[in-house]
């Protein structure tokens, strides 16, 4: 978008009105035509590399092998559960999918079940009409275009009905072991509250976190942050007394500086 809009609403060509073509070309930067898109601005954060490493080391001691709290048995049921989990609790989704996955735990069976029957199974979940439509459509697409299998590439996942960046990131992380980070409400809050990755959008927080999380911890950071946000650094009242990173945390809201004892959570 190189043109400006003038007061009349007409486009105003840059340089045309105030200089001869020669003068305009003399003023033009030599590399303007090959200018790269601007990189996201790096935000300075109040943590040293050692402090960040220590934060994730402690999370790794608490939960060496964190798992999703959504119930699933294979990549397909994981994908469906994540699609259904938007604006719903994991417990609510698990309750609804128990019977749904008993009758349809693969794309072909789900496509055969059809939108109306899927809707009946998930009536207790918010936005169930739209979600039923998406689950039926994505099952049909998997059968038609992917041999009934869940693809392991982001572009193919995001092309499925009802699947956005966040859902694709969860599936890539949990089912395919990729070092993705799906920013949900908990991770968004932690990124901003702790000033680990301040950002106005989930994408900005995602990029900020991926930039600072040390490589050995990237695979599980997604779950550690979600679970820390869900059970300790809660939205309304963080439980700082129970927090293993209370000494390192730079959140203004924190009420305690003494870290809770560090041990694996059963």
DSSP code for 4: E
- For position 233 contacting ligand SF4 by CB under 6 A, the verdict is yes
Distance CA 254, CA 113 (A): 49
- Catalytic, 166? Answer yes
- For position 55 contacting ligand SF4 by CB under 6 A, the verdict is no
Closest approach of Cβ 230 to ligand SF4, in Å?
Answer: 12
Residues numbered 237 to 256 that lie near ligand SF4 (CB under 6 A) are 238-240, 243, 245-246, 249, 251, 253-254
Closest approach of Cβ 228 to ligand SF4, in Å?
Answer: 7
Closest approach of Cβ 65 to ligand SF4, in Å?
Answer: 22
Query: Within the chain, where are the H helices?
Result: 21-27, 49-62, 75-84, 90-103, 107-121, 128-146, 154-158, 165-174, 185-193, 202-212, 218-231
Choose between 139 and 251: whose C-beta lies nearer to ligand SF4: 251
- For position 150 contacting ligand SF4 by CB under 6 A, the verdict is no
Pick the binder of ligand SF4 from 78, 86, 194, 204 (CB under 6 A): 194
The answer to whether 183 and 205 are in contact (CB under 8 A) is: yes
Closest approach of Cβ 239 to ligand SF4, in Å?
Answer: 6
**215 — phi, psi (to 5°)?**
-45, -45
Q: Degrees (nearest 5) of the Cα angle 68, 185, 126?
A: 80
Binding residues for ligand SF4, how many (CB under 6 A)? 13
The answer to whether 253 and 209 are in contact (CB under 8 A) is: no
Burial label, 177 (beta-carbon count in 10 A; 0-12, 13-18, 19+): exposed
- Catalytic, 184? Answer yes
The answer to whether 78 and 72 are in contact (CB under 8 A) is: yes
Closest approach of Cβ 85 to ligand SF4, in Å?
Answer: 23
Q: What is the residue whose two structure tokens read 């300790």?
A: 232
Among the options 4, 44, 184, 254, which is catalytic?
184
Q: Taking contact as CB under 6 A, which single stretch among the options 5-13, 19-27, 75-83, 233-241 is the one that binds ligand SF4?
A: 233-241
- For position 142 contacting ligand SF4 by CB under 6 A, the verdict is no
Among the options 131, 166, 234, 247, which is catalytic?
166
DSSP code for 123: T
- For position 227 contacting ligand SF4 by CB under 6 A, the verdict is no
- Chain contacts with ligand SF4 (rule: CB under 6 A): 194, 232-233, 238-240, 243, 245-246, 249, 251, 253-254
Catalytic residue ranges: 166, 184
């Amino acid at each position: 978008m190189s043109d400006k809009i003038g007061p009349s609403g007409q486009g105003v060509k840059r340089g045309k009105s105030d200089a001869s073509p020669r003068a305009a070309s003399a003023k033009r930067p030599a590399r303007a035509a090959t200018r790269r898109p601007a990189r996201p601005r790096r935000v300075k954060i109040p943590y040293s590399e050692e402090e960040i490493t220590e934060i994730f080391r402690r999370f790794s001691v608490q939960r060496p092998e964190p798992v999703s709290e959504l119930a699933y048995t294979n990549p397909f049921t994981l994908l469906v559960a994540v699609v259904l989990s938007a604006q719903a609790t994991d417990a609510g989704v698990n309750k609804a999918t128990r019977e749904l996955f008993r009758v349809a735990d693969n794309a072909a069976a789900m496509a055969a079940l059809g939108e109306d029957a899927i809707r009946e199974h998930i009536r207790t979940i918010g936005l169930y009409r739209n979600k039923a439509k998406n689950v039926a459509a994505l099952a049909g697409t998997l059968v038609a275009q992917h041999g009934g299998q869940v693809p392991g590439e982001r572009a193919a996942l995001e092309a499925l009905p009802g699947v956005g960046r966040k859902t694709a990131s969860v599936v890539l992380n949990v089912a395919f072991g990729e070092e993705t980070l799906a920013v949900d409400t908990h991770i968004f809050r932690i990124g901003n509250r702790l000033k680990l990755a301040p950002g106005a959008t989930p994408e900005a927080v995602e990029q900020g976190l991926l930039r600072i999380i040390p490589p050995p911890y990237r695979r599980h950071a997604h779950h550690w942050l979600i679970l820390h946000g869900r059970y300790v650094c809660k939205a309304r009242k963080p439980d700082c007394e129970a927090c293993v990173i209370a000494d390192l945390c730079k959140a203004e809201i924190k009420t305690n500086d003494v870290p809770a004892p560090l041990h694996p959570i059963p």
